[in-house]
Structure 1
Amino acid sequence: MKKWFIMLAIAGTVYACGSNSTPPASEEKKPASGDMVQNQKGLELIGASDCTTCHKISEKNIGPAYTDVAKKYDNTDANIDYLAKKIIEGGEGVWGAIPMTPHPDVSEADAKEMVKYIMTLKK
Protein backbone atom coordinates (compact mmCIF):
# COMPACT_ATOMS: atom_id res chain seq x y z
CA MET A 1 0.00 0.00 0.00
CA LYS A 2 2.87 2.32 0.82
CA LYS A 3 4.37 1.76 -2.66
CA TRP A 4 1.08 2.74 -4.34
CA PHE A 5 0.91 5.95 -2.32
CA ILE A 6 4.49 6.86 -3.27
CA MET A 7 3.85 6.12 -6.96
CA LEU A 8 0.68 8.19 -6.88
CA ALA A 9 2.51 11.08 -5.21
CA ILE A 10 5.30 10.96 -7.80
CA ALA A 11 2.83 10.83 -10.70
CA GLY A 12 0.90 13.78 -9.25
CA THR A 13 4.09 15.80 -8.86
CA VAL A 14 5.21 15.08 -12.41
CA TYR A 15 1.79 16.03 -13.75
CA ALA A 16 1.65 19.26 -11.72
CA CYS A 17 5.16 20.32 -12.74
CA GLY A 18 4.53 19.83 -16.44
CA SER A 19 1.12 21.47 -16.71
CA ASN A 20 2.30 25.10 -17.06
CA SER A 21 5.48 24.53 -19.01
CA THR A 22 5.97 25.90 -22.49
CA PRO A 23 7.03 23.49 -25.20
CA PRO A 24 10.68 23.59 -26.22
CA ALA A 25 11.49 25.51 -29.37
CA SER A 26 12.53 22.29 -31.13
CA GLU A 27 9.12 20.63 -30.62
CA GLU A 28 7.30 19.96 -33.89
CA LYS A 29 4.62 22.45 -34.76
CA LYS A 30 1.25 20.75 -34.76
CA PRO A 31 -1.75 21.94 -36.76
CA ALA A 32 -4.01 24.36 -34.93
CA SER A 33 -7.00 22.65 -33.37
CA GLY A 34 -9.26 24.53 -35.79
CA ASP A 35 -7.36 22.97 -38.71
CA MET A 36 -7.84 19.50 -37.26
CA VAL A 37 -11.57 20.03 -36.73
CA GLN A 38 -11.91 21.51 -40.19
CA ASN A 39 -10.05 18.61 -41.77
CA GLN A 40 -11.57 15.84 -39.67
CA LYS A 41 -13.84 15.08 -42.62
CA GLY A 42 -10.80 14.48 -44.84
CA LEU A 43 -9.35 12.06 -42.30
CA GLU A 44 -12.67 10.22 -42.05
CA LEU A 45 -12.92 10.00 -45.86
CA ILE A 46 -9.40 8.57 -46.07
CA GLY A 47 -10.22 6.03 -43.36
CA ALA A 48 -13.41 4.95 -45.14
CA SER A 49 -11.66 4.47 -48.49
CA ASP A 50 -8.94 2.11 -49.68
CA CYS A 51 -6.22 4.82 -49.41
CA THR A 52 -4.48 3.11 -46.51
CA THR A 53 -3.84 0.05 -48.65
CA CYS A 54 -1.08 1.97 -50.43
CA HIS A 55 -0.37 4.98 -48.19
CA LYS A 56 0.66 5.49 -44.57
CA ILE A 57 0.93 8.74 -42.67
CA SER A 58 4.66 8.96 -42.13
CA GLU A 59 6.33 6.08 -43.96
CA LYS A 60 6.44 4.96 -47.57
CA ASN A 61 4.33 1.95 -48.41
CA ILE A 62 3.37 1.16 -52.01
CA GLY A 63 2.78 4.87 -52.49
CA PRO A 64 4.36 7.86 -50.77
CA ALA A 65 3.73 8.75 -47.13
CA TYR A 66 1.15 11.50 -46.63
CA THR A 67 3.82 13.57 -44.88
CA ASP A 68 6.03 13.32 -47.98
CA VAL A 69 3.16 14.50 -50.18
CA ALA A 70 2.59 17.44 -47.84
CA LYS A 71 6.32 18.31 -47.99
CA LYS A 72 6.43 18.16 -51.78
CA TYR A 73 3.44 20.42 -52.48
CA ASP A 74 2.67 23.87 -51.14
CA ASN A 75 -0.79 24.24 -49.65
CA THR A 76 -2.31 26.23 -52.50
CA ASP A 77 -5.70 25.97 -54.19
CA ALA A 78 -3.97 24.95 -57.44
CA ASN A 79 -2.13 22.07 -55.73
CA ILE A 80 -5.26 20.97 -53.87
CA ASP A 81 -7.10 20.85 -57.23
CA TYR A 82 -4.17 18.99 -58.86
CA LEU A 83 -3.91 16.36 -56.10
CA ALA A 84 -7.69 15.90 -55.90
CA LYS A 85 -7.65 15.23 -59.66
CA LYS A 86 -4.84 12.67 -59.10
CA ILE A 87 -6.99 10.88 -56.50
CA ILE A 88 -9.92 10.67 -58.90
CA GLU A 89 -8.06 9.96 -62.17
CA GLY A 90 -4.98 8.17 -60.85
CA GLY A 91 -1.57 8.69 -62.37
CA GLU A 92 2.01 7.56 -62.52
CA GLY A 93 5.56 8.77 -62.72
CA VAL A 94 5.58 11.41 -59.98
CA TRP A 95 6.58 9.01 -57.18
CA GLY A 96 8.01 6.16 -59.25
CA ALA A 97 6.89 3.49 -61.68
CA ILE A 98 3.95 2.12 -59.68
CA PRO A 99 0.78 3.86 -60.87
CA MET A 100 -1.82 5.26 -58.51
CA THR A 101 -5.16 3.54 -58.94
CA PRO A 102 -7.95 5.87 -60.10
CA HIS A 103 -10.88 6.43 -57.75
CA PRO A 104 -13.68 7.65 -60.07
CA ASP A 105 -16.34 7.13 -57.38
CA VAL A 106 -14.75 9.78 -55.13
CA SER A 107 -16.36 13.19 -55.64
CA GLU A 108 -14.18 16.21 -56.33
CA ALA A 109 -15.33 17.80 -53.04
CA ASP A 110 -14.40 14.67 -51.05
CA ALA A 111 -11.03 14.37 -52.80
CA LYS A 112 -10.27 18.01 -51.90
CA GLU A 113 -11.16 17.34 -48.26
CA MET A 114 -8.72 14.40 -48.26
CA VAL A 115 -5.97 16.58 -49.72
CA LYS A 116 -6.66 19.36 -47.21
CA TYR A 117 -6.19 16.87 -44.40
CA ILE A 118 -2.92 15.61 -45.93
CA MET A 119 -1.67 19.20 -46.16
CA THR A 120 -2.11 19.59 -42.38
CA LEU A 121 0.65 16.98 -41.97
CA LYS A 122 3.32 19.32 -43.36
CA LYS A 123 6.08 19.73 -40.79
Structure 2
Amino acid sequence: MKTAWLGVFAASALLVAGSVQASPELAAKNNCVACHQVDAKLVGPSFKEIATKYAGKDDETGYLVSKIKGGSTGVWGQIPMPPNVNVSDGDAKALAEWISTLK
Protein backbone atom coordinates (compact mmCIF):
# COMPACT_ATOMS: atom_id res chain seq x y z
CA MET A 1 0.00 0.00 0.00
CA LYS A 2 2.82 2.36 0.88
CA THR A 3 4.42 1.73 -2.53
CA ALA A 4 1.13 2.48 -4.32
CA TRP A 5 0.80 5.86 -2.60
CA LEU A 6 4.39 6.69 -3.40
CA GLY A 7 3.68 5.99 -7.08
CA VAL A 8 0.58 8.19 -7.05
CA PHE A 9 2.50 10.99 -5.36
CA ALA A 10 5.38 10.74 -7.85
CA ALA A 11 3.00 10.80 -10.83
CA SER A 12 1.20 13.84 -9.42
CA ALA A 13 4.49 15.66 -8.94
CA LEU A 14 5.43 15.00 -12.58
CA LEU A 15 2.11 16.39 -13.81
CA VAL A 16 2.53 19.57 -11.79
CA ALA A 17 6.16 20.00 -12.82
CA GLY A 18 5.26 19.46 -16.47
CA SER A 19 2.54 22.09 -16.61
CA VAL A 20 3.43 25.63 -17.67
CA GLN A 21 2.36 28.37 -15.32
CA ALA A 22 2.82 31.91 -16.57
CA SER A 23 4.20 34.60 -14.39
CA PRO A 24 6.53 37.55 -14.62
CA GLU A 25 9.34 34.99 -14.62
CA LEU A 26 7.97 33.28 -17.73
CA ALA A 27 7.60 36.69 -19.39
CA ALA A 28 11.24 37.41 -18.53
CA LYS A 29 12.38 34.00 -19.79
CA ASN A 30 10.76 34.70 -23.16
CA ASN A 31 12.11 38.28 -23.34
CA CYS A 32 8.65 39.88 -23.16
CA VAL A 33 9.92 42.27 -20.48
CA ALA A 34 12.27 43.89 -22.98
CA CYS A 35 9.19 45.78 -24.21
CA HIS A 36 6.40 45.18 -21.66
CA GLN A 37 5.92 45.62 -17.91
CA VAL A 38 2.99 44.57 -15.76
CA ASP A 39 1.87 48.07 -14.74
CA ALA A 40 3.58 50.58 -17.02
CA LYS A 41 4.14 51.22 -20.72
CA LEU A 42 7.73 50.60 -21.75
CA VAL A 43 8.20 50.17 -25.52
CA GLY A 44 4.87 48.39 -25.82
CA PRO A 45 1.75 48.57 -23.67
CA SER A 46 1.69 47.17 -20.16
CA PHE A 47 0.35 43.67 -19.65
CA LYS A 48 -2.57 45.21 -17.72
CA GLU A 49 -3.44 47.49 -20.66
CA ILE A 50 -3.41 44.47 -22.96
CA ALA A 51 -5.64 42.51 -20.58
CA THR A 52 -8.12 45.39 -20.35
CA LYS A 53 -8.26 45.98 -24.10
CA TYR A 54 -9.01 42.35 -24.94
CA ALA A 55 -11.20 41.46 -21.95
CA GLY A 56 -14.26 39.55 -23.10
CA LYS A 57 -13.07 39.19 -26.70
CA ASP A 58 -14.17 35.95 -28.35
CA ASP A 59 -11.32 33.46 -27.95
CA GLU A 60 -9.28 35.99 -26.00
CA THR A 61 -6.55 33.46 -25.22
CA GLY A 62 -6.26 32.31 -28.83
CA TYR A 63 -6.13 35.91 -30.05
CA LEU A 64 -3.36 36.81 -27.61
CA VAL A 65 -1.42 33.65 -28.51
CA SER A 66 -1.58 34.68 -32.18
CA LYS A 67 -0.23 38.14 -31.30
CA ILE A 68 2.51 36.72 -29.07
CA LYS A 69 3.65 34.24 -31.72
CA GLY A 70 2.98 36.27 -34.88
CA GLY A 71 3.52 39.85 -33.76
CA SER A 72 1.41 42.81 -34.83
CA THR A 73 1.59 46.27 -36.35
CA GLY A 74 -0.46 49.40 -35.82
CA VAL A 75 -2.50 48.10 -32.90
CA TRP A 76 -0.76 50.15 -30.18
CA GLY A 77 0.96 52.84 -32.26
CA GLN A 78 3.76 52.97 -34.76
CA ILE A 79 6.18 50.56 -33.11
CA PRO A 80 5.45 47.02 -34.32
CA MET A 81 5.62 43.96 -32.12
CA PRO A 82 7.91 41.48 -33.86
CA PRO A 83 6.97 37.80 -34.16
CA ASN A 84 8.21 35.64 -31.30
CA VAL A 85 8.96 32.43 -33.14
CA ASN A 86 11.11 31.09 -30.29
CA VAL A 87 8.24 31.19 -27.78
CA SER A 88 6.79 27.69 -27.48
CA ASP A 89 3.08 27.16 -28.02
CA GLY A 90 2.75 26.15 -24.36
CA ASP A 91 4.53 29.26 -23.12
CA ALA A 92 2.49 31.49 -25.45
CA LYS A 93 -0.77 29.99 -24.16
CA ALA A 94 0.34 30.27 -20.54
CA LEU A 95 1.41 33.88 -21.07
CA ALA A 96 -1.90 34.73 -22.75
CA GLU A 97 -3.87 33.16 -19.90
CA TRP A 98 -1.74 34.99 -17.31
CA ILE A 99 -2.10 38.34 -19.09
CA SER A 100 -5.89 37.85 -19.13
CA THR A 101 -5.92 37.59 -15.33
CA LEU A 102 -4.42 41.07 -14.96
CA LYS A 103 -7.64 42.95 -15.83
Tell me the TM-score normalized by structure 2.
Answer: 0.73
The answer on whether the counterparts of 1:75 and 1:119 sit within 8 Å (CA) in structure 2 is no
Q: Residue 87 of structure 1 corresponds to which residue in structure 2?
A: 68
| Correspondent of 1:59 among 40, 44, 47 | 40
> For residues 115 and 77 of structure 1, what CA distance do their matches in structure 2 show?
14
- Say how many residue pairs are matched: 83
- How far does the alpha carbon of each residue in 1:86-118 deviate from its partner, in whole angstroms, 9 at most, with x for none? 111111111011000111121222101001111
The answer on whether the counterparts of 2:30 and 2:87 sit within 8 Å (CA) in structure 1 is no
2:16 matches 1:45? no
2:85 matches 1:104? yes
> For residues 100 and 57 of structure 1, what CA distance do their matches in structure 2 show?
17
Tell me, which stretches of 5 or more residues in structure 1 are unaligned?
1-39
The answer on whether the counterparts of 1:91 and 1:99 sit within 8 Å (CA) in structure 2 is yes
- CA-based RMSD: 1.7
Higher mean alpha-carbon deviation, 43-52 vs 82-91, is at 43-52
The answer on whether the counterparts of 2:73 and 2:80 sit within 8 Å (CA) in structure 1 is yes
Tell me, which stretches of 5 or more residues in structure 2 are unaligned?
1-19
Moved runs in structure 1, 4+ residues, more than 3 A? none
Tell me the TM-score normalized by structure 1.
Answer: 0.62
Q: Residue 11 of structure 1 corresponds to which residue in structure 2?
A: none
The answer on whether the counterparts of 1:42 and 1:113 sit within 8 Å (CA) in structure 2 is yes
